[in-house]
Amino acid sequence: MSKMNILLKLLGFEQANLASSAPQKHFDWLRQVQSVEISCPESKNKTLDAYSSEDIFDYTVYQANGDGTTLYDLTSPTSGTYRISYESGAAIDMSDAEVGDSINIKTGFGDFKVNKHYTISAVDVAGQYIEFQSSESLTLEASGSPVFDIYNDYKTVVYLETNQSSRILLNGEMSESEPILINGVRNNGVFLRYSRVYSMTLQNKSASQANMFYILAK
């Protein structure tokens, strides 16, 4: 098993007199996390042309986009087991999902916590429903139009450096990174995420080529 150390240092200060050896510190923060177990580590340099984008990975096997016309029911066939099943609207097929995959329910059913992940315990052979377990009691609902993703793998560590204004789409949700300018000199912007990430797309927002570097691990 591979391991990773995380060291983060943030120092904010003001030094009016450059000859002074005792600048005023606004904050001095050091965080160290040692020996985090990781798997499938990788790092790569990436070049993106102006205004271009590229999918880095996508483990999604099914998406419900909450279009308001494709409706699902949330029922509970047994205690602690919940079923999301197709009710009406555009034809669907969730048969690519497998037991052990995960579902991230984003919106659409009333009391779901945003971006909470559940493990799939059953899949209809016709692809019309999936089941998952929850220790929390969930409110059952009919004719919902939820947004959810089913996925079969994920990363937990995403680190990115970029020398241009860039967008990072993780699980379909957008973040941004800007280069750091110091006295007119452009330094790479940095972005760090530690959470469950099953899809990643990079976008170059600028009119110039973007030089990027990223690290991924699970």
Question: Mean pLDDT for each consecutive 10-residue tract of the chain (218 residues)?
Answer: 93 71 82 96 98 98 93 94 95 96 86 78 96 89 92 98 97 95 93 97 97 98
Residue 112, pLDDT score:
63
Residue 87, pLDDT score:
95
Residue 5, pLDDT score:
96
> What are the backbone dihedrals phi and psi of residue 171, each rounded to the nearest 5 degrees, phi first?
55, 30
* Third-level CATH fold of 60-151: Elongation Factor Tu (Ef-tu); domain 3 (2.40.30)
Residue 30, pLDDT score:
95
Residue 138, pLDDT score:
85
The answer to whether domain 39-58+154-217 and domain 60-151 are alike in fold is no
Domain locations along the chain: 39-58+154-217, 60-151
**Tokens standing for 19?**
């000859």
How close are the terminal C-alpha atoms of the chain, in Å? 11
CATH architecture of 39-58+154-217: Sandwich (2.60)
Residue 17, pLDDT score:
60
